[in-house]
């Protein structure tokens, strides 16, 4: 057993911090071992720092401790997982009281979803914060990796930790910092190794210590921000930028359909210009980040001026209407074929909110399925990450061929790798009515029409 340092971490000088890192004498507790939390915990453990993961999901904890890596769609971490489990530098527990009192650094990678009325839900963080008041080791560091709106840490979260069974003072009894996660699901390994990390804290000393720790663990550039709210603002700004630009091309896509213009050709040409950053249209924007991040920014002005941020509000409306547009394209194609949607067999290809990950959080596919249900279509679903399971009250197919055989229409929603080489001729030969709506820009529209498919695609006018 490695001897744990008796000193308060926030009081150590930088030379002692570096020695403690090198000797593996800084103990880490990662609360939340999901999509981001587990790879983060593994990275800390792999760097030589004894790490324990905490999660309320007992099945996930059991899976981790039995040596079964749960994130099969995150390549690169499986070997790291096997190594740290084997050398006993990492394990998981459901008992927060087992982990926090013995840890020098507490990493929080907890979900921050939004309610049905688009209000960010920070209840998981607040609940853990109340426990930290009772359990924190004197002088330990709390680092929030979860994405939160600017000011939440300073205005709410710190007081949750300070006030409770014990009266604690930030900067004296514990350090408070943020390092917003920046990894792209499905590409976390690459992002952890290459992307700079943003660190903000409530005091410079804490910021410097956290920066040194993250630099040691990840070996990437550390960008020191003036405070927590600036770091969180930077994280949100980068994602809201994408949400807005996707809305921009989605709006253009609907226009170009009417003007007889193929948006993919337009975007390809625009991408030749040095200052153009390409974004693609699609069936909607899902996942735990982009939609939620936009509403986190919007929530920041509720007590200021609700007339602000009109562009973000408009972008959200546009992206949230895209599932309706996909169904409209389907209805138009069915009309061309002389068929009604009621009773027609419609196949959904792809449930995940983005390609090549097993994640259906806020996926546009859900809204499309609801609309098809209301129109009384017969729905079949195939997704390589959700085979032969029940999702959104429908049993999914076990293979692609079973899904498309005798279909009246195919809606290509998620551009998984498996769908990149779909043969228009094969699709047409298997279907009863050869209709396809391509929302991912995967099919060659000319080849699709030559194969006899009635083709529709988002922004694919002039085909």
Q: Which CATH number fits the domain that encloses residue 177?
A: 3.40.50.720
Q: Would the pLDDT of 41 be above 60? A: yes
Domain with 424 in it: 245-457
Distance CA 21, CA 460 (A): 55
pLDDT, mean of residues 219-231: 98
Q: Would the pLDDT of 216 be above 60? A: yes
Residues 320-331 have pLDDT tens digits of: 999 999 999 999
Residues 229-247 have pLDDT tens digits of: 999 999 999 999 999 999 9
4 occurs within a structural domain: no
Q: Is the same domain home to 161 and 271?
A: no
Mean pLDDT estimate for the chain? 95
Residues 183-207 have pLDDT tens digits of: 999 999 999 999 999 999 999 999 9
Distance CA 199, CA 425 (A): 52
Distance CA 25, CA 4 (A): 5
240 occurs within a structural domain: no
Q: Which H, E and C letters describe 104-152, residue by residue?
A: CEEEECCCCCECCCCCECCHHHHHHHHHHHHHCCCCEEEEECCCCCCCH
Q: Would the pLDDT of 463 be above 80? A: no
Q: Would the pLDDT of 2 be above 50? A: no
Q: Would the pLDDT of 157 be above 90? A: yes
Domain count within the chain:
2
Q: Would the pLDDT of 269 be above 60? A: yes
Chosen domain end from 226, 257, 290: 226
Distance CA 136, CA 96 (A): 11
238 occurs within a structural domain: no
Give the pLDDT of residue 302.
Answer: 82
Q: Is the same domain home to 26 and 126?
A: yes
Q: Is the same domain home to 260 and 195?
A: no
With beta carbons less than 8 A apart as the criterion, state whether 416 and 383 touch.
yes
Q: Would the pLDDT of 338 be above 80? A: yes
Q: Is the same domain home to 263 and 384?
A: yes
Q: Is the same domain home to 282 and 401?
A: yes
Q: Is the same domain home to 220 and 291?
A: no
Q: Which long-range contacts (CB under 8 A, 24 or more apart) does 212-219 make?
A: 212/14, 212/17, 212/18, 212/21, 213/17, 213/21, 213/26, 213/105, 213/141, 214/179, 216/18, 216/21, 216/47, 217/43, 217/44, 217/47, 217/49, 218/43, 218/192, 218/193, 219/193
Q: Would the pLDDT of 69 be above 50? A: yes
Q: Is the same domain home to 302 and 207?
A: no
Give the pLDDT of residue 306.
Answer: 75
111 occurs within a structural domain: yes
236 occurs within a structural domain: no
Q: What percent of the chain has pLDDT over 90?
A: 95
Give the pLDDT of residue 1.
Answer: 40
Rounded to two decimals, what is the model's pTM?
A: 0.93
Q: Is the same domain home to 74 and 192?
A: yes
Q: Is the same domain home to 215 and 318?
A: no
Q: Is the same domain home to 419 and 282?
A: yes
Grade residue 303 by pLDDT with cuts at 50, 70 and 90. Answer: confident
Which uninterrupted H or E stretch holds 166?
Answer: none
Q: Would the pLDDT of 6 be above 60? A: no
Q: Is the same domain home to 103 and 249?
A: no
Distance CA 15, CA 4 (A): 17
Which uninterrupted H or E stretch holds 14?
Answer: helix 14-22
Round to the nearest angstrom and report the end-to-end CA distance of the chain: 67
Which uninterrupted H or E stretch holds 212?
Answer: helix 204-218
234 occurs within a structural domain: no
Q: Is the same domain home to 379 and 409?
A: yes
Backbone phi and psi for residue 319, each to the nearest 5 degrees, phi listed first? -65, -30
232 occurs within a structural domain: no
Grade residue 304 by pLDDT with cuts at 50, 70 and 90. Answer: confident
Give the pLDDT of residue 4.
Answer: 57
Residues 255-268 have pLDDT tens digits of: 999 999 999 999 99
360 occurs within a structural domain: yes
Give the pLDDT of residue 5.
Answer: 53
Residues 112-152 have pLDDT tens digits of: 999 989 999 999 999 999 999 999 999 999 999 999 999 99
| Backbone conformation region of residue 118, classed left if phi is above 0, alpha if psi is from -120 to 50, else beta | left
Q: Would the pLDDT of 288 be above 80? A: yes
List C-alpha distances in Å: 436 to 224, 406, 458.
49, 13, 11
Select from 208, 292, 264 the least CA-distant residue to 459: 264
């Amino acid at each position: 057993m490695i001897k744990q340092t008796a000193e308060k971490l926030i009081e150590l000088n930088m030379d002692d911090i570096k020695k403690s890192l090198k000797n593996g004498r800084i103990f880490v507790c990662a609360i939340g071992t999901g999509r981001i939390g587990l790879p983060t915990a593994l990275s800390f453990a792999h760097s030589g720092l004894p790490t324990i993961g905490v999660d309320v999901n007992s099945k996930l904890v059991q899976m981790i401790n039995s040596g079964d890596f749960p994130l099969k769609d995150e390549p690169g971490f499986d070997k790291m997982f096997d190594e740290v489990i084997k050398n006993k530098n990492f394990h998981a527990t459901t008992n927060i009281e087992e982990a926090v009192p013995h840890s020098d650094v507490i990493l929080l990678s907890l979900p921050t979803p939004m309610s049905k009325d688009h209000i960010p839900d920070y209840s998981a963080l607040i609940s853990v914060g109340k426990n930290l008041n009772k359990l924190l080791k004197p002088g330990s560091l709390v680092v929030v990796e979860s994405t939160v709106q600017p000011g939440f840490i300073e205005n709410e979260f710190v007081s949750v930790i300070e006030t409770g069974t014990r009266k604690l003072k930030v900067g004296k009894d514990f350090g408070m910092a943020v390092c917003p996660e920046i990894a792209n699901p499905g590409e976390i390994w690459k992002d952890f190794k290459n992307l700079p990390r943003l660190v903000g804290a409530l005091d410079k000393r804490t910021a410097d210590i956290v920066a040194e720790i993250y630099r040691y663990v990840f070996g990437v550039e550390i960008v020191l921000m003036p405070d927590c709210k600036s770091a969180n603002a930077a994280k949100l700004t980068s994602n809201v930028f994408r949400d807005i630009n996707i809305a921009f091309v989605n709006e253009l896509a609907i226009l170009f359909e009417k003007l007889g213009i193929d948006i993919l050709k337009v975007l390809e040409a625009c991408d030749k210009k040095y200052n153009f950053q390409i974004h693609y249209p699609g069936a909607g924007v899902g996942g735990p980040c982009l939609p939620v991040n936009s509403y986190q920014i919007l929530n920041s002005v509720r007590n200021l001026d609700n007339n602000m941020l009109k562009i973000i509000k408009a972008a959200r409306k546009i992206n949230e209407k895209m599932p309706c547009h996909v169904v409209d394209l389907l209805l138009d194609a069915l009309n061309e074929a002389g068929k009604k949607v009621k009773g027609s067999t419609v196949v959904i290809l792809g449930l995940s909110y983005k390609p090549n990950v097993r994640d259906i959080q806020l996926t546009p596919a859900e809204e499309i399925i609801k609309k098809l249900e209301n129109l009384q279509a017969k729905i079949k679903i195939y997704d390589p990450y959700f085979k032969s399971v029940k999702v959104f009250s429908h049993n999914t197919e076990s293979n692609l061929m079973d899904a498309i055989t005798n279909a009246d229409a195919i809606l290509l929603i998620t551009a998984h790798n498996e769908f990149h080489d779909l043969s228009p001729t094969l699709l047409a030969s298997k279907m009863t009515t050869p209709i396809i709506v391509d929302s991912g820009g995967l099919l060659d529209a000319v080849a699709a029409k030559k194969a006899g498919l009635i083709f529709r695609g988002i922004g694919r006018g002039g085909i």
